[in-house]
Amino acid sequence: MTSKAKPSPPWFGGLILACLTVATAWILTYTLAPLPGQNTLGGWNYAVVGVLLTFFIGLSRAWHGDPPERQRAETRDRSQNRSPDRRSAGTAG
């Protein structure tokens, strides 16, 4: 299945990693050495981590990376009005 969607903006990957990092840090600090205020949340700390992980999964599924090299080459060839089969006429392989 090929997707015609444009690649995601550069900050999108950082947002994905931030969700995972914050969720991991949150659960580790709550279980190993609670930060001030985490004890008052009690079991809701797990809900916070669950929400962050849900965002992580949702954002990861919505992310569109760069197209493969072949697709970039075909797009470049089309923009230069060349056939994808005629890369460079003067070189022999």
Residue 91 domain flag: no
Residue 48's alpha-carbon distances to 7, 9, 52, 71, in angstroms, are 29, 26, 6, 40
Residue 49 domain flag: yes
Count how many domains the chain has.
Answer: 1
pLDDT tens per residue, range 45-72: 999 999 999 999 999 999 988 767 666 6
Residue 23 domain flag: yes
Residue 92 domain flag: no
In contact, 19 and 52? CB cutoff 8 Å: yes
pLDDT tens per residue, range 17-43: 999 999 999 999 999 999 999 999 999
Residue 7 domain flag: no
Which secondary-structure segment (H or E) carries 46?
A: helix 44-62
* Residue ranges making up the domain that contains 44: 19-79
Both tokens of 6, joined, read 């444009």
DSSP assignment of 8-45 equals PPHHHHHHHHHHHHHHHHHHHHHHHSPPTTHHHHTTHH
Report pLDDT for 56: 96
